[in-house]
């Protein structure tokens, strides 16, 4: 199916996986906007003339409401929502985590995704169609020490959120796909206690790999739903 003309909002689209997805969908002829809370990253993303940008903190429901109102005026009714906003922290073990950092990770990774889905669903219900893609993490299927406790907890919750919405909204023509990438070369790696070197990052997934998955899912006909998609580099195979 052609994606030409589809209206797409990528939340967390200022860099990393989100920007890779935005660029891939723009190349398919979609009308694309990205949202993020960094003015600098949005300026970089919107150097591509095919992509519009809007500042938004997904933990602020008023800003999320304003984002979707702006999107409707700028690009029309929403066809595809991609939730890619996510953070992690350096001190990420139970023994050293700051409870405030735990709260921040949950607010961005899980509550922020909830806020955006909650705002998108009335539009998609009215249209009787829509695709929501949540960029979760392999750490939302397997507890990974390298990802840390707050991140794993938030991603397990985000995966459950997407699965529940998929079950609830299937009768309304709305599809939800949770994508669970393994290690991916994005700026979030810099938050690790020991950031990986360039040679290790080269062996990881790249943002364009995840973007190719999103394009493939978006091109499926309405009869086909992909509830979950796991993609990993060879060194992270799971059974």
Q: How far apart, in whole angstroms, are the C-alpha atoms of residue 42 and residue 36?
A: 7
Which residues are within 8 A (CB) of 34 and not within 5 positions of it... i.e. 6 or more apart? 9, 10, 11, 13, 14, 18, 19, 22, 42, 45, 46, 51, 52, 53, 54
Q: In the sheet that 31-36 helps form, which strands lie side by side, from edge to edge?
A: 51-55, 31-36, 7-11, 80-83, 130-135, 174-181, 228-231
| Nearest Cα to Cα of residue 130 among 176, 67, 76 | 176
In the annotation, is 180 catalytic? no
229 token code pair: 């998609």
Indicate which residue of 102, 114, 151, 156 is catalytic. 151
| Nearest Cα to Cα of residue 218 among 210, 160, 206 | 210
155 token code pair: 């991603």
**Which residues have a catalytic role annotated?**
151
């Amino acid at each position: 199916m052609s994606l030409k003309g589809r209206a797409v909002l990528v939340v967390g689209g200022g860099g990393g996986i989100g920007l890779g997805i935005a660029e891939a969908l723009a190349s398919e002829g979609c009308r694309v906007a990205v949202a993020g809370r960094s003015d600098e990253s949005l300026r970089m993303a919107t150097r591509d003339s095919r992509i519009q940008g809007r500042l938004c903190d997904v933990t602020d429901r008023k800003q999320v409401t304003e984002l979707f109102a702006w999107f409707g005026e700028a690009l029309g009714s929403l066809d595809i929502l991609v939730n890619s906003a996510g953070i992690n922290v350096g001190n990420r073990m139970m023994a050293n985590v700051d409870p405030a950092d735990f709260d921040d990770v949950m607010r961005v990774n899980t509550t922020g995704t909830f806020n955006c889905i909650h705002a998108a669903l009335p539009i998609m219900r009215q249209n009787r169609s829509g695709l929501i893609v949540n960029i979760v993490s392999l750490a939302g299927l397997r507890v990974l020490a390298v990802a840390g406790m707050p991140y794993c907890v938030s991603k397990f919750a985000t995966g459950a959120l997407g699965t529940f919405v998929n079950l609830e909204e299937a009768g309304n023509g709305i599809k939800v796909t949770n994508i669970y990438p393994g290690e991916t070369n994005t700026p979030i790696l810099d938050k690790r206690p020991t950031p990986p070197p360039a040679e290790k990052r080269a062996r990881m997934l790249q943002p364009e790999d995840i973007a190719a998955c999103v394009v493939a899912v978006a091109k499926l006909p309405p009869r086909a739903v992909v509830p979950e998609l796991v993609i990993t580099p060879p060194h992270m195979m799971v059974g």
